[in-house]
């Protein structure tokens, strides 16, 4: 079965899928909320709870001193559960409040009074660099002689790319319910990508051992990395209430509070110096990457590492040096986001390719194909050889499939005609013209080479429990968490395929730390790779035992089967001693088990399971898997960081209204290498969804902060995620045939994150259009996201000169300033009124 609908498809459509806040409230359940800082950096002078304590429905309030451990953190334990003396970002928790109802909770939160003494905040990467405010140490990954190669290069370019953050905007905000159990234990239900970390953080917060905490995750209403680490501290807030007050406690943030309190995709500022020859071949690249980590470390150092590892993207660069440094600022601690650091490194090298093409007067696709990894030039700057390299084929096939050459000629011709028309109407030129031609178009084809596996080696492990019941149905438990991506469906299909049964007979259970302990987060696109392989290993062991039972029952008359004799004890039981050998002799297919050499000797799966049970043969199995051959040394920046690479390419055509700056994506063609997909329909859906989410990142999703560091765009009305009108008018997605990937489970390749990076083709297409509009061989450096205003500024920078000469406030005063005549009338009217 090549495709199977998502296991929750019917319940999603029917509105019956249960999320955390859908769980029925218990009679004595408490509502939990957080009073958070309104200051980016300040000393806490006083916390006054007196009014809150008098508010009807108040049940309790907790401060930093009430937590058993002061700090938590995924890599460095540097983030307080609650601020004790100093707040370091707007949204940092100061007081946890519990109340009887939502209405009383809101009243209690409003009644808490906190007095601050403000301190100077650091609110940009530039300020952090000047103050030497850093998280972790500076890291370098390099090969070759970069300095000499740059000096000898025929052409040099220096530049930078500025990349803003992105909000995860999951539909289900951060939510947890904690139930107190016997002897001080707690049961945590959380919307979390990492149940094990949530279990551990809750235990640390309330001061109990891990054995007394069970964390259960049925599903999430979206995660995208935002619930990999940051779900844990909200569960800890509910945990301390439940543990201390001995009552169930529920926390479910509003969208506004969630966006203000939680971290985003890390903003980056990347600087580069590149040398290349007359053809456009890159000879050397020297890059410095700076990210905004926010107030605390979270996952930012690992995110920076992946950005450094992906700064080559799909291109062989013989001399390359990448230096990375995370900056500490007074924003919410930034965190994992689909693609992790990969998109920031890839955006940089793709801008470099475009700039080289513009400088040499060539098509950027020509430069990309010249530099792409190919035989003999297939080792990365960190020393990993690219096996199963599909990049040249992806370029060639997509160029042909999307009719790139003909479309490029037609777009160039149309844009030239538009420039000629505007030049005729406006001899002063488009740069300073307030009245520009209405539409310009751009086209760009960009690739992705995304490393699959965690770069932190110990995270590349998983375990699974497979249980076969006597009716022939299965329950499978793994550490994978379902956030809409279909990991449960894929795992069910892998197990069912191994045992030759209908996947609908397999139920993947809610993830629970009492069944699957010490698991890694569902992240790094490795949910199926790790957990699917562990489940497959467990299923293989059961299959071997069933095969040996089949060998026995098919060799004797049915009258002597255990179903007829077990109760009487007249037959000897099957002893499983050669399970692996037996598995090779039997075919499990379509619910039947038959002997390889005797196709008529067969038994149905359910009957065989019953026989196994009656012979006291185990029908459950636990398996452990770890990804082999990972040898990346973080100190030297050398080695095999990834198990394999998911690869793809996208060609995107955009149209820009140069009166408003609005961008429309006219057409996108994507060609992906996903090996042999477990579920093709789900994989194509993931490609489409990832691309559209990436499209939001590079075009419309503009995080806007106040001068004091508070996020202002914290709701659907102020933060623009893609709508249906923002998706490509023509959207073609194909999967390339690839049977060469044998290293992974079932020969598949991960799909979760890589396609998001293909949306960079829309950003470079916008740059292509703007360059065409200006008629210059200079690629515009448009900040990500390329909003309408930024596009207009790039097309006609002179038109904004007047606005940039004075602060916005003075411009408003000038526009509203009365004329002398009206001012005189006003003065006369005022005099008469006084008389």
Active site residues: 753
Phi-psi region of 680 (alpha: psi -120 to 50; beta: other; left: phi over 0): alpha
Distance CA 600, CA 335 (A): 58
User: From residue 41, how far is each of 99, 624, 709 by CA, in Å?
Assistant: 29, 46, 9
Asked if residue 245 lies in contact with residue 30, where contact means CB atoms within 8 angstroms, the answer is yes
Helices and strands, counts by H and E, the chain: 25, 29
User: From residue 706, how far is each of 40, 294, 710, 713, 785 by CA, in Å?
Assistant: 10, 16, 5, 10, 18
Distance CA 670, CA 677 (A): 16
Residue 819 half-sphere exposure toward CB, CA atoms < 13 A: 2
Asked if residue 331 lies in contact with residue 292, where contact means CB atoms within 8 angstroms, the answer is yes
Distance CA 364, CA 186 (A): 58
Task: Name the strands in the sheet holding 730-735, side by side, starting at the edge strand that comes first in the sequence.
Answer: 439-452, 644-657, 663-673, 730-735
Distance CA 480, CA 527 (A): 6
User: From residue 47, how far is each of 43, 204, 241, 454 by CA, in Å?
Assistant: 11, 24, 19, 42
Please, what sign has the CA dihedral across residues 227, 230, 233, 238? negative
**Which two three-digit tokens encode residue 765?**
């297409």
Residues 6+ away with beta carbon under 8 Å from 672:
646, 647, 648, 683, 687, 733, 734, 735, 736, 751, 754, 755
Q: Burial, 690: exposed, middle or buried (Cβ in 10 Å; 0-12, 13-18, 19+)?
A: buried
**Which two three-digit tokens encode residue 537?**
């290993």
């Amino acid at each position: 079965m090549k495709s199977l609908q998502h296991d929750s498809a019917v319940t999603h459509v029917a509105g019956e899928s249960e999320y955390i806040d859908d769980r029925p409230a218990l009679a004595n359940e408490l509502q939990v909320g957080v009073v958070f800082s309104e200051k980016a950096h300040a000393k806490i002078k006083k916390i006054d709870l007196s009014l809150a304590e008098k508010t009807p429905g108040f049940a309790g309030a907790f401060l930093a001193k009430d937590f058993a451990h002061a700090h938590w953190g995924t890599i460095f334990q540097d983030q307080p559960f609650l601020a004790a003396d100093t707040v370091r970002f707007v949204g940092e928790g100061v007081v946890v409040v519990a109340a009887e109802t939502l209405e009383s909770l809101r009243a209690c939160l409003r009644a808490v009074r906190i007095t601050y003494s403000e301190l100077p905040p650091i609110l940009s990467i530039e300020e952090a660099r000047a103050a030497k405010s850093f998280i972790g140490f500076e890291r370098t990954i390099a090969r070759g002689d970069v300095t000499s190669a740059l000096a000898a290069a025929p052409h040099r370019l220096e530049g930078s790319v500025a990349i803003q953050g992105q909000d995860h905007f999951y539909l289900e905000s951060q939510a947890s319910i904690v139930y107190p159990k016997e002897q001080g234990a707690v049961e945590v239900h959380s919307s979390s990508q990492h149940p094990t970390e949530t279990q551990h953080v809750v235990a640390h917060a309330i001061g109990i051992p891990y054995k007394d905490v069970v964390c259960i995750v049925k599903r999430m209403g979206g995660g995208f990395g935002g619930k990999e680490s940051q779900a844990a501290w909200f569960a800890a807030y509910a945990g301390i209430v439940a543990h201390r007050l001995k009552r169930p406690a529920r926390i479910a943030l509003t969208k506004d509070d969630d966006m203000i309190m939680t971290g985003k995709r890390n903003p980056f500022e990347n600087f580069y110096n590149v040398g290349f020859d007359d053809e456009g071949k890159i000879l050397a690249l020297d890059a410095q990457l700076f990210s905004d980590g926010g107030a605390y470390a979270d996952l930012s150092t690992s995110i920076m590492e992946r950005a450094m590892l992906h700064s080559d993207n799909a291109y062989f660069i013989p001399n390359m040096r990448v230096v990375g440094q995370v900056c500490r600022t007074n924003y919410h601690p930034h965190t994992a986001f689909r693609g992790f650091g990969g998109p920031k490194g890839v955006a940089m090298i793709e801008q470099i390719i475009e700039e080289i093409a513009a400088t040499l007067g060539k098509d950027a696709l020509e430069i990309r194909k010249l530099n792409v990894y190919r035989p003999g030039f297939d080792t990365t700057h960190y020393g990993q050889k690219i096996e199963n390299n599909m990049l040249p084929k992806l370029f060639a096939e997509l160029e042909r499939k999307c009719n790139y050459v003909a479309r490029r000629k037609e777009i160039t011709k149309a844009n030239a005609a538009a420039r000629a028309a505007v030049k005729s109407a406006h001899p002063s030129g488009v740069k300073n013209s307030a009245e520009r031609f209405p539409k310009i178009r751009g086209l760009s084809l960009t690739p992705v080479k995304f490393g699959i596996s965690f770069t932190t080696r110990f995270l590349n492990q998983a375990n699974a429990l497979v249980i076969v019941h006597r009716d022939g149905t299965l329950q499978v438990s793994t550490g994978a968490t379902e956030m809409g991506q279909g990991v449960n469906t894929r795992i069910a299909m892998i197990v069912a395929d191994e045992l030759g049964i209908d996947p609908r007979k397999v139920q993947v259970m809610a993830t629970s730390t009492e069944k699957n302990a010490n698991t890694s987060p569902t992240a790094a696109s490795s949910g199926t790779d790790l957990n699917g392989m562990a489940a497959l290993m467990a299923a293989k062991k059961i299959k071997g035992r069933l095969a040996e039972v089949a060998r026995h029952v098919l060799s004797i008359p049915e009258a002597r089967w255990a179903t007829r004799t077990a109760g009487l004890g007249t037959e000897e039981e099957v002893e499983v001693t050669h399970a692996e050998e037996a598995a090779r002799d039997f075919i499990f297919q379509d619910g039947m088990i038959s002997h390889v050499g005797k196709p008529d000797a067969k038994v149905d799966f359910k009957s065989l399971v019953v026989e196994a049970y009656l012979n006291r043969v185990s029908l459950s199995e636990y398996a452990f898997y770890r990804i082999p051959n990972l040898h990346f040394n973080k100190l030297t920046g050398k080695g095999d960081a990834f198990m394999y690479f998911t690869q793809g390419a996208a060609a995107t055509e955009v149209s820009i209204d140069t009166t408003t700056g609005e961008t429309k994506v006219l057409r996108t063609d994507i060609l992906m290498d996903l090996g042999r997909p477990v579920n093709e329909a789900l994989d194509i859906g993931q490609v489409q969804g990832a691309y559209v989410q990436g499209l939001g990142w590079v075009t419309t999703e503009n995080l806007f902060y106040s001068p004091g560091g508070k996020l202002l765009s914290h709701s659907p009305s102020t933060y623009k995620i893609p709508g249906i009108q923002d998706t490509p008018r023509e959207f073609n997605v194909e999967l390339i045939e690839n049977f060469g990937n044998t290293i992974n489970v079932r020969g598949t390749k991960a799909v979760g994150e890589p396609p998001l990076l293909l949306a960079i083709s829309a950003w470079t297409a916008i740059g292509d259009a703007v360059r065409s509009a200006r008629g210059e061989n200079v690629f515009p450096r448009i900040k990500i996201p390329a909003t309408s205003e930024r596009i207009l500024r790039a097309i006609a920078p002179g038109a904004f000169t007047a606005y940039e000469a004075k602060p916005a406030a003075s411009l408003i005063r000038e526009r509203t300033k009365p004329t002398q005549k009206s001012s005189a009338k006003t003065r006369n009217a005022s005099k008469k009124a006084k008389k």
